[in-house]
Every structure is written in C-alpha cells, then in structure tokens.
Amino acid sequence: METAMFGAGCFWHVEEAFRQVCGVVDTRVGYSGGSMLNPTYEQVCEGGTGHTEVVQVMYDPKRVSYEDLLKVFWAEHDPTLKIKVQYKSVIFFYSADQQKAAVAVIATLAQTLGKPIVTEVLPASAFYDAEEYHQRYYEKTGTKGCATGGCAIP
C-alpha cells in the first residue's frame, strides 16, 4: 500500500471522488500543512493555523497508479483559482516519484489551460484526522455538495 495526500477545497467532495476509484483502499479527511498541533475544524476554518483541508488516500499501486489519482484530483477542482489557505490546491508528496509526477502534470496542465496553475507541491507534513463526523461525510449524511465558502459546522 502507498499513501497520497491532496488538498482541493472542501474535503467532503474530494474524499467521495477518491472513494469511487478502484484500487483506493481507504481515505481519511483531515488537516495538513499548518503549524498547530491537533487543530480542530473550527480552528482551521478561522484561518490562523495555516492548515489546509486534505484527503489522505491509501491505495494499491498494483491496481491504480499515482498518475490516475492525480487525474481525479484535477477533475475535482479548478487549480487556477487562488483561494484561502484552508481550501488551497496542494499536493503533498511522500516520495520523489510522487513529486516528479505532480510537477510534470502541472507543467502539462498549465500549457493545456493556458493559465498559471496555483497548485502547490510540498513534502508531506503531519496529517491530523478531522473529527469523526467529517469522515465519509456523504455516506453518513447522504448530503452532496459543500457549503459555499466551506466550513459548514454541523
């Protein structure tokens, strides 16, 4: 098994998209990239922690490639929009191969779109699980879509 981590806006819809991919064994939503230890959803929403909402994807590379996961990532958001740090477009890599693949795809995508890509490619940092009610949110609630602007606290 291997791990990948992506931030593409609200983590609920991104997690659901990855859960539909054959070869993805598990997903967890959470926070990464900030300075605070064990941030809460409310703290991340306030914007002072530096964390981004992310999906950690555990996958079987014999069944799905990292490049295929990148395709799902790109399909789930607009990588040309610069938005708040909590919802920014970011790829956290766990290996040099993941970094190389992400950078290569960004270069190709920028040419295709004819716009600058704002997606950051960063080494994986600490991942903090989001609260349990966020995990597999769509399965639990049947709700589709995130609140406008994110951070809808149930």
Give the pLDDT band (50/70/90) at residue 153.
Answer: very low
- Reported as a single tens digit per residue, the pLDDT across 33-62 is 999 999 999 999 998 899 999 999 999 999
Residue identified by tokens 């993941």 is 98
Q: In the chain, what are the domains?
A: 2-141 (3.30.1060.10)
Give the pLDDT band (50/70/90) at residue 144.
Answer: low
- Reported as a single tens digit per residue, the pLDDT across 63-89 is 999 999 999 999 999 999 988 899 999
Active-site residue, from 10, 22, 45, 151:
10
10 labelled catalytic: yes
Sequence-separated (6 or more) residues with CB below 8 Å from residue 118:
79, 80, 81, 82, 88, 89
Give the pLDDT band (50/70/90) at residue 141.
Answer: confident
Q: Do the Cβ atoms of 150 and 45 come closer than 8 Å?
A: yes
Statement: residue 133 has pLDDT above 70: yes
Which of helix, strand or coil describes residue 69?
A: helix
| Distance, C-alpha 90 to centroid of its chain | 7
